[in-house]
Chains A and B, each alone.
Chain A
Amino acid sequence: MKVKVIGIPVHDQEKALKFYTEKLGFLKKIDIPLSEGNRWLTVVSKEEQDGAEILLEPSPNHFEPAKVYQKALFDAGIPYTQFNSEDVQQEYDRLSTLGVEFSVKPTEMGTVKIAVFNDTCGNNIQIVQML
């Protein structure tokens, strides 16, 4: 078995696509229309285009427990997903300039540096740099 796709629940797929591509710099990989306006929509890291795909899935709109779980995590400030970065401070500076809101500013935690931002689609996302 291989890890190929990881899901992130989002309220609005089009808005999520814009955020993940225009702000984070990911690339759209797969976009297949499904029923009722939903899409199988994935993005990948520009630096690792053969790496795992992020599936921007509209589960909070269709499954109440998913919505409740996502909101509980968000309200507690807990990141749903984590991405690796070569330089968290640089990424923080770049994303802040683009208007991205951080709930955790770059913080050293032993052998890593972390920061957490709001993806505007219902999730906290953590970026991490190995020190």
Chain B
Amino acid sequence: MTHYLTEISRIKNICYSNKSQIDRVVGTRHFIIHNFEKELNLNLLSRVRFTSKFHLLRLYKLYYGQTPKQYLIEKRLEAAKQLLSKGLSITDTCYDIGFESPCSFSTLFKARFGLSPKEYQKKATFTKSNHS
């Protein structure tokens, strides 16, 4: 057995022995993946996995290193890139991925990718036409 295999086994026993907690956070993440465009909040997520919201928040951060809200925003912004590349308008993209305000969507998008949705769309269209 290599040193790495020994370490994997050791760390697994120390950090990942609580299967019920892991099932809860993995289930929450999957729920976000399949429902990110809907109105999601901590109250709803905690009801889905029968956990108190503060406990869920703590567990999610412990196992994924970010809060459910941070992951939700990340998931929505990744989806936004795909919709913008397909030519959907910025306002339609914003509402399709679950944001309520085009302004806050644009701010988050720019902070995340360094380009505004409009700039990103222009770049994506240019790249596509260059490849075709």
Q: Chain A residues in contact with chain B, CB under 8 A?
A: 50, 75-79, 103-104, 107, 109-111, 114, 116, 124, 130-131
Contact = CB atoms under 8 A, between A and B. Distances in A.
8 contacts: A76-B3, A78-B2, A104-B5, A109-B11, A109-B12, A109-B16, A111-B63, A131-B29
A114 B26 CA distance: 15
B63 A110 contact: yes
B25 A77 contact: no
Contacts of B88: none
B54 interface: no
Contacts of A124: 4
Contacts of A103: 2, 4-5
Interface string B11-42: 11001100000100110010000000000000
A124 B127 CA distance: 34
Given A50-B127, A111-B29, 18 more contacts: A76-B2, A77-B4, A77-B5, A78-B3, A78-B4, A103-B5, A107-B8, A109-B11, A109-B12, A109-B16, A110-B12, A110-B15, A110-B22, A111-B25, A111-B63, A111-B64, A130-B29, A131-B29
Given A110-B22, A111-B26, A131-B26, A77 B16 contact: no
Contacts of A79: 4
Interface in B33-65: 63-64
Contacts of A110: 12, 15-16, 22, 63
A52 to B, nearest CB: 15
A86 to B, nearest CB: 12
A102 to B, nearest CB: 12
A113 to B, nearest CB: 11
B89 to A, nearest CB: 23
Nearest to B17: A110
Contacts of B3: 76-78
Contacts of A75: 2
Contact of B4 (A104, A130, A131): A104
Contacts of A50: 127
Contacts of A116: 4
A109 B8 contact: yes
